[in-house]
Amino acid sequence: MKIIIIGATGTIGRAVVDLLAPDHDIVKVGFRGGDLQVDIASKDSIRKLFEDVGDFDSVVSAAGLAKFGSLDSLGDEDYLLGLANKLMGQVNLVRIGRKYINDNGSFTLTSGVLSQNPMPGSSSISMVNAGIEGFVRAAALETQRGIRVNAVSPIWVKETLEVLGMGSSEGMPAELVALAYKESLEGQRNGEVLDVRHFA
């Protein structure tokens, strides 16, 4: 398969690239780095990406910004960031990409554990992640030509916790997180939210 991996320079994206590269043709896409660049908050940028890539079978998104912060500290612009970037950015990958993707292709978006298991400070991220999951369940009912849509819900990634200087014993190594993306890509699931803990 020819697979576009958006967020390919991030912690999860790199692990997905490493896992899939031996068996597939990978197009690595970053915001600044990668083979090609995209700003998922811009529909024009998304459209240009798909035009530039040409023929492809699958899209993996491990990209999207949203703001962590207390109810008291989050401003309107913080909620809007998550809605415009992590939520509608990924939704627009499906809305636009379904016109370009090959028959029987797939889209795999990224939500996150805070959707279902929130913590203080996650009101915007939990909202955005849950929204992604709601969209995926519904959009999967309408994609024609055998196209599938799923979301992967990662827990905290071990390497990310280490960078943040937080205890990493609870984190999952990115190479194990990547297994859920592989299942979404290579399996037959559609409209599902894959909890990475079930595939590691």
Binding site for its own copies (CB under 8 A): 43, 70-71, 76, 79, 83, 87-88, 91, 95, 98, 114-116, 118-135, 137-139, 141-143, 191
Work out how close the CB of 104 gets to its own copies at its nearest, in angstroms, rounded to a whole number. Answer: 17
Work out how close the CB of 123 gets to its own copies at its nearest, in angstroms, rounded to a whole number. Answer: 4
Among residues 119 and 166, whose Cβ is nearest to its own copies? 119
Among residues 61 and 129, whose Cβ is nearest to its own copies? 129
Work out how close the CB of 116 gets to its own copies at its nearest, in angstroms, rounded to a whole number. Answer: 7
Residue corresponding to tokens 């979404």:
184
Work out how close the CB of 148 gets to its own copies at its nearest, in angstroms, rounded to a whole number. Answer: 14
* φ/ψ (deg, to 5) at 144: -90, -175
Work out how close the CB of 195 gets to its own copies at its nearest, in angstroms, rounded to a whole number. Answer: 15
Among residues 13 and 89, whose Cβ is nearest to its own copies? 89
Among residues 87 and 174, whose Cβ is nearest to its own copies? 87
Supply the DSSP string of the chain, one letter for each residue.
-EEEEETTTSHHHHHHHHHHTTTSEEEEEESSSBSEE--TT-HHHHHHHHHHH-S-SEEEE---------TTT--HHHHHHHIIIIIHHHHHHHHHHTTTSPTT-EEEEE--GGGTS--TT-HHHHHHHHHHHHHHHHHTTT--TT-EEEEEE---BHHHHHHTTS--TTSBPHHHHHHHHHHHHHS---S-EEEGGGT-
Among residues 137 and 197, whose Cβ is nearest to its own copies? 137
